[in-house]
Structure 1
Amino acid sequence: MGISTLMCKQTQPVPNILSGARLNMDIFNTHRHKDKVVVVMGATGTGKSRLSIDLATRFPAEIVNSDKMQVYKGLDIVTNKITKEEQRGVPHHLLGILNPDEDFTATDFCDMASLAVGCVVSRGHLPIIVGGSNSYMEALINDEAAGANYECCFLCVDVSLPVLHSFVSERVDRMIENGMVGEVRTMFDTNNVDYSGGIRRAIGVPELDKYFRQEEYLEEGTRCRLLQEAICEIKGNTCKLASRQSEKINGLQNRKGWKLHRLDATDVFLKRGREADEAWEKLVVGPSSVIVGNFLYNVAAKAAHNVAAAAIRPAAAMGSALAAAIH
């Protein structure tokens, strides 16, 4: 009850759109029976959270997390939770709300996500569901109530697996540098070896178990070797997860007939610095903004188009494309 009330009462300000104008989502309710929902998919490390934030600065949106590990409190480094700074004031739901040992099933997710989406819509905002737990996403989309009430636009960020594997391995190194080992140590319990439930399922926790159990009895050289073995295992399991998630997404597209708007971000990951940011804007954010703009405008009355056009700040690299898509 507490979580339900909290989500429905949440009134964090949504980032301003161009010239301080606000896009009233009610204009999209004319002549339609289903509320609009954007779903951002992709394997771990592809930039789903980044894209969701970028979209939420162009449209008045709130984000609903669908990552089964990020729903728990704690282990922010291990679970790659988006930071407050990275959220840029965009309201987030189902992020860090559960105690670490609680069970959280796909059914639980459907119930809570449906409530969150309903609350977001009630405020006239666009719900953006984002996360790597595709089984949760599938359960939600297959839910009869959700299917009857919402129309979904699916965005999928793709990165070539060899390139993505290299990136997530480098990301693990950064996580280690940022204090991942110490963070996991706070969760370590010599009497608790059950890694099948709660946040302890997260990649990075079970892999360090052997290291924590033996480190105080080992000399420095052996201890370092054992830690490196654990890190290599974390990298390997993360790469396997990325592959499984990619396969799952392909399966959903083929078996369920989901119309995925696929955005190839491989070139972004091959660049660095400003070039990478420019490629992200051109290859991912710009096309996504056009897709979402079309998704929202398709059912709007023609008279509402000009009103909304002034309220949407298009991506720098695709202003003319969005204008063409609208008109």
Structure 2
Amino acid sequence: MTAENKPKLLVLVGPTAVGKTRLSIEIAKAYSCEVISGDSMQVYREMDIGTAKITQDEMRGVPHHLIDVLKPDEPFSVALFQEACRRLIPEVTSRGHLPFIVGGTGLYVESVCYEFQFSEAGSDEEFRQAQVKYAEEFGVQALHDKLAQIDPASAAKLHPNDQRRVIRALEIHHLTGITMSAQLEGQTKQSPYDLCLIGLTMDRQLLYNRIEERIDAMIEQGLVQEVESLLNKGYTPDLVSMQGLGYKEIVEHLVDGVPLDQAIVKLKRDTRHFAKRQLSWFRHMKEIHWVDCTDGNFSKNLADIHAIIAGKFGASLEYNTKH
């Protein structure tokens, strides 16, 4: 299938706090886009502050999908994300709009861009439970170290707190003898879409400063109260959603008595590490056009993005200068 016959798909990725949200709205207004959130946490209702979720006002009328669609105790996975995008992208295209994935969950975004086929390895519940017990006895870092020994590439992309995915990577190797990273490397990397991939980056120290400022703002906006409300509604700390950045650390403060200032220091450190892993993931995606946002010149960054889109999609997209 030639690019002319493939449906168009615009994608904007980058690490947390790099400035995707504000730029995405300008782009969406310019090209009549509907945004599909490529974030594994923003699907959850009542988890707004800790996920830096876009507000209705910030959307400025741009349709957004896969935000606030699940309760915090409902499952969400890369396979479910893929399935949703396979439905949404043709729907958005049929309305005469441009599908636009915006987010920082690398595996989720890449799985749609290149239609990854995930392991049919099945599952081994006994093995999973053994890994859970191992983590309970020796700690999540020790479990992560097990993965690092057999699959360092996958371990580098997964935080020790992400116990569910760490166990799944161990399970895939246990069942198939092939590492998860080797399976992903074996994917064809042929996209079913006429794909325009844009990545945002900036000076590492500046990004870290922005992350710390964002977390300070989250605390001021009521992150502790948000997590407390979730706990009071019966959402337990072991849920995948409650293991997310910003939630696990505050749970440790509220439930385990970790002093708030220590929890915040840990959250800032973990988020910096997360951003580093995000950048590592995106840097191996060969087709990304990078835009460096270090200078903070929003108009220039936006102009660079318009040039990339024009170069990829050409005159087949109208740029609405009256947005």
TM-score category by the smaller chain? 0.7 to 0.9
2:138 corresponds in structure 1 to: none
Who is 2:294 aligned against?
266
Tell me, yes or no, if structure 1 residue 206 matches structure 2 residue 248.
yes
1:31 and 1:81 mapped to 2: Cα distance?
A: 33
Q: Deviations over 1:232-284 (max 9, x none)?
A: 111111111101101111122xxxxx32111000111xxxxxxxxxx1111x1
**1:132-211 correspondence runs (5 A):** 132-143=104-115, 149-188=192-231, 192-195=236-239, 197=240, 199-211=241-253
Q: Tell me the residue number matched to 1:274.
A: none
How far off its partner does 1:147 sit?
A: 5.4
Change beyond 3 A, Cα 1:173–1:144:
closer
Q: 1:47 deviation in Å?
A: 1.1
C-alpha contact 1:34 1:148 (8 A) present in aligned 2: no
Deviation at 1:132, TM superposition (A): 0.5
| Identity percentage of aligned residues | 33
The aligned counterpart of 1:14 is: none
Residue in structure 1 matched with residue 148 of structure 2 by the alignment: none
Distance 1:113 1:31 in 2: 19
Cα distance change of structure 1 residues 133 and 191 upon mapping to structure 2, 3 Å threshold: closer
Q: Does 1:285 align with 2:285?
A: no
Q: CA deviation at 1:206?
A: 1.3
Could you list the runs of 4 or more consecutive aligned residues of structure 1 that deviate by over 6 angstroms after TM superposition?
none
- 1:49 Cα deviation from its structure 2 partner: 1.7
Correspondence for 1:58: 30
Distance 2:24 2:201 in 1: 15
Question: Using a 3 Å threshold, how does the CA distance of structure 1 residues 240 and 144 change in structure 2: closer, same or farther?
Answer: closer
Alpha carbons of structure 1 residues 175 and 74: separation in structure 2 relative to 1, 3 Å: same
Measure the CA separation in 2 of the matches of 1:153 and 1:182. 40
Aligned partner letter, 1:165: Y
Give the residue type in structure 1 aligned to 2:261.
Answer: Q
Which amino acid counterpart does residue 281 of structure 2 have in structure 1? K
Partner of 1:312: 320
Structure 1: tracts of 5 or more residues without a match: 1-29, 216-224, 253-257, 269-278, 316-327
Higher mean C-alpha displacement, 160-169 vs 143-152: 143-152
Select the structure of larger CA radius of gyration. 1
Q: Quote the Cα distance in structure 2 between the aligned partners of 1:106 and 1:237.
A: 22
Deviation (angstroms), 1:289: 1.1
For 2:110 and 2:213, locate their aligned partners in 1 and report how far apart those are by CA, in whole Å.
30
Match of 2:144 in 1: none
**Letter of the structure 2 residue corresponding to residue 264 of structure 1:** D
Alpha-carbon distance, 1:214 to partner: 5.6
Q: Is the 8 A contact 1:34 1:149 kept in 2?
A: yes
Contact 1:64 1:92 in 2 (8 A): yes
CA–CA distance in structure 2, aligned partners of residues 206 and 144 of structure 1: 30
Q: Distance in 2 between matches of 1:51 and 1:264?
A: 13
Asked if structure 2 preserves the Cα contact closer than 8 Å seen for 1:35 and 1:121, the reply is yes
1:31 Cα deviation after fit: 8.9
Find the aligned partners of 1:193 and 1:60 in 2 and give their Cα distance. Answer: 40
Q: Using the TM superposition, give the Cα deviation of residue 124 of structure 1 relative to its aligned residue in structure 2, in angstroms.
A: 0.8
8 Å CA contact 1:73, 1:99 repeated in 2: yes
Q: 1:243 aligns with which of 276, 295, 299?
A: 276
Relative to structure 1, the CA distance from residue 186 to residue 290 in structure 2 (aligned partners, 3 Å threshold; closer, same or farther) is same
1:34 pairs with 2:6: yes
CA separation of 1:287 and 1:31: change in aligned 2, threshold 3 A = closer
What TM-score results when the alignment is normalised by the length of structure 1?
0.71
CA RMSD in angstroms, aligned pairs only: 2.4
Aligned residue for 1:73, secondary structure, equals coil
- State the distance in 2 between where 1:151 and 1:117 align: 12
Q: How many residues align?
A: 250
